[in-house]
């Protein structure tokens, strides 16, 4: 696995782990997930646009978090179209 891919997966896992208390996304319909993707996109824009982030470690971590949250949500949508994940149970493929 590429180092970049590994890092992305680790960041997405942090988001997923922190959100384990939320209702399962597997039962959400496609339009609901698309709405969530739009919300997450706006949060990325806000994180990047609302602060002077270069050299500000907390701001940079927040941007990484928001990007990982967007990526995780996009992969929730992708899983709706992938045969390997049709019978996905939370946390297990």
Q: What pLDDT, on a 0 to 100 scale, did the predictor assign at position 80? A: 86
Mean pLDDT of the residues in the chain: 86
Q: To which residue do tokens 């967007």 refer?
A: 70
pTM of the model: 0.83
* Cβ contacts of 52 within 8 Å, gap of 6 or more: 59
- Are the C-beta atoms of residues 12 and 72 closer than 8 Å to each other? yes
pLDDT for 14-35, tens place per residue? Answer: 999 998 888 777 788 999 999 9
Query: For residue 89, is pLDDT > 70?
Result: no
- Token representation of residue 82: 């992938």
Task: Tell me the average pLDDT across 89-93.
Answer: 51
């Amino acid at each position: 696995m590429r180092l970049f891919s590994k890092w992305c997966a680790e960041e997405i896992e942090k988001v997923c782990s922190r959100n384990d208390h939320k209702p399962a996304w597997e039962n959400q319909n496609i339009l609901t997930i698309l709405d969530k993707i739009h919300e997450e996109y706006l949060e990325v824009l806000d994180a990047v646009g609302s602060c002077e982030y270069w050299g500000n470690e907390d701001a940079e971590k927040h941007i990484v978090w928001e990007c990982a949250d967007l990526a995780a949500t996009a992969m929730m949508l992708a899983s709706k179209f992938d045969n390997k994940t049709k019978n996905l149970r939370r946390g297990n493929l």
